[in-house]
A = this chain, B = another copy of it.
């Protein structure tokens, strides 16, 4: 499995979105939540029947170095070339692409919270693809096109039945009667690694909620393994009007999330 910064035009990741990706927070050249990323990638490979790259191949680009600050490592695994149309080759030769970008922690969002748009696009149900981080992501791209206002920081996505699923590039968490919940993602949505880790450590439970009920929760957050956890202070509709506001909620879930990511408790 050769590393590459280019792929040929017949790569199935390009042709059909036939592959997976991971975006990993790196600090001083070391990954955060690495075991969660590896687990999700393995789940995706199994779902799509793509051979899982070896740990050695995935970790070959790590360069531990105290002088390196925050970075985001992006790993793309495609099924490679070959096959006939949608039909995959019997023995796929996956392609692994590795890239790094520098990253600045979004301290302002942690501190001031986020304004989140209730997106108009509804996620379609596809249980065969839900949870995994595959490359067929046009729904997320279309949802992100709904706004350009820089004061809107994320978009909340419902499914075709009106249930809350996720944010455009984050998961959603809410507090109700003192307990914290996140949607199940059995029909659609990406199961983020921060969400996985928070569930595993017992900080978050699974529940179902629709948009109307969400307006009445005690606190709302969006978060992922790169951006950390953002308290939501305002939910706006498609016209930009506020449909719900919350007092700023730091500590609690945010502290647990940031502990997992090596982010500071106070900022």
Contact = CB atoms under 8 A, between A and B. Distances in A.
Interface in A127-175: 128-129, 134-145, 148, 160, 168-169
Given A7-B9, A7-B14, A135-B138, 20 more contacts: A6-B6, A6-B8, A6-B9, A9-B76, A9-B97, A10-B99, A16-B137, A16-B140, A48-B141, A85-B144, A86-B140, A86-B144, A87-B145, A121-B128, A123-B126, A125-B125, A129-B142, A135-B136, A136-B137, A136-B138
Interface string A215-246: 00000000000000000000000000000000
Contact of A135 (B14, B88, B97, B143): B14
A81 B43 CA distance: 28
A14 B11 CA distance: 9
A136 B135 CA distance: 7
Could you say which interface size class chain A belongs to? 35 or more
B169 A99 contact: no
A7 B81 CA distance: 13
Given A14-B76, A16-B140, A160 B125 contact: yes
Interface in A65-106: 76, 78, 85-88, 90, 97, 99
Contacts of A160: 125
